[in-house]
Structure 1
């Protein structure tokens, strides 16, 4: 199970938390750790908290931006502790595990954890198909970063063990898909192309965009298009732009 699951930490402030996450990951047989602009790393405190999982720290991949960290991933899940102005598909860790388990092991899945003090921004969450929320005590809901990773990765491992024991191998959509899913970089090019086209045809006012692009992101991310479908959509956008320019 572990080969296609990537844990991504964004702007982690305390290096000890990175070490704690590495330990939590290794407990649950996960080995791919990506860090987005950590405040202090490498660091002795990270090594100390890893307690035997320093190999994950040594192999951790560091990125400047979240977009870079998830560019080759087909499924991106962002952790969220609060409701958003525009509702997004929200699942708890057990529901997430049920979604992830049937996905083929050749699909890259990123689970993104935000800053210790304020989590992920709205813009970062808009890069994700799903948001996962841990239903902790509402009177004391703040979770340590490593504890949050442990909860999510435990559910992933239990779903994998249950599926193996019960020989459940039903594909994601009930059938083997014929085309590779679009990855995050494919989708970001689509959204950029879509926004440009909507401005060209005067459907989107860049001075007053309201929430149009976040809502369209939610629509397309919910559909989880494959690479051919993304190419078809971009072909439609190109034809729309040409037709609009011809009329001008």
Structure 2
């Protein structure tokens, strides 16, 4: 789905909002997630200072908001309508959670306007209003404290919409936003992964220092080095991190007056440079 379709074809509809500050907070939630088509049905007060203050940089969403006097006007031209609701209606209605609602909204937005309807702060949407909806959206909040602030409920749905939108971009032209960056070698990481021989040099250096400070006994090693290897291998060190660690070890050796009997390596030279502040 194109960005224009995502922004314009999906309407966020607020019904008879009591507090104008909540309208501003909703505008902020929408803009955070790339949405901008806001419809207000008979708000108690709008526009006003409180709504723009709570928008916090999303005043353009408020400037473009459509203020209407009835839900019929807000839904005019829509091909799919979904309303937020708690479960437990007398007549069961099709109910879907936010992720599935986002899929339905984005897919149907290719064909026409889609409305996501949110009710009043104190009692939500009426039964008559909910019966205007094809689906009810249920946000599975804590049953012991299930009441969501209006802007929070909108944020949940806007987030799900954006995630579906980004997944579509990733499958097409490509989107960097959903790709994790957790270790050296991932796109965006600033330093390449440490080569295996440098990591092995670090382990040898570490063992020597632990021996120098009488923390490790080579004649009774137990599982110390095995567990330390597991720790550092799990961290997936990059080259700079190896250099920093080698610099620390060299500084420890100098402080305790133990240089060890290892033959200097290229990694040692890097460690010395690290110690001297060449980051």
What is the TM-score normalised by the length of structure 2?
Answer: 0.59
Q: Secondary structure at the match of 1:159?
A: helix
User: Relative contact order: is structure 1 or structure 2 higher (C-alpha 8 Å, sep ≥ 6)?
Assistant: 1
Select which of 156, 161, 174 maps to 1:156: 161
* Residues 65-144 of structure 1 aligned to structure 2 (within 5 Å): 65-144=70-149
Distance 1:16 1:104, change over 3 A: closer
Calculate the aligned-residue CA RMSD, in Å. 1.3
Q: Is the 8 A contact 2:37 2:65 kept in 1?
A: yes
Q: Secondary structure at the match of 2:99?
A: helix
Q: Secondary structure at the match of 2:121?
A: coil
Distance 1:104 1:8, change over 3 A: closer
* Residues 1-248 of structure 1 aligned to structure 2 (within 5 Å): 1-167=6-172
Distance in 2 (alpha carbons) for counterparts of 1:119 and 1:160: 27
Distance in 2 (alpha carbons) for counterparts of 1:11 and 1:102: 28
Q: Is the 8 A contact 1:4 1:106 kept in 2?
A: no
Q: Is the 8 A contact 1:79 1:112 kept in 2?
A: yes
Structure 1 outlier segments of 4+, above 3 Å: none
Unaligned 5+ residue runs, structure 2?
1-5, 174-279
Distance in 1 (alpha carbons) for counterparts of 2:146 and 2:75: 27
Q: Is the 8 A contact 1:17 1:49 kept in 2?
A: yes
Q: Secondary structure at the match of 1:102?
A: helix
Distance in 2 (alpha carbons) for counterparts of 1:58 and 1:98: 28
What is the TM-score normalised by the length of structure 1?
Answer: 0.66
1:33 positional shift:
0.4
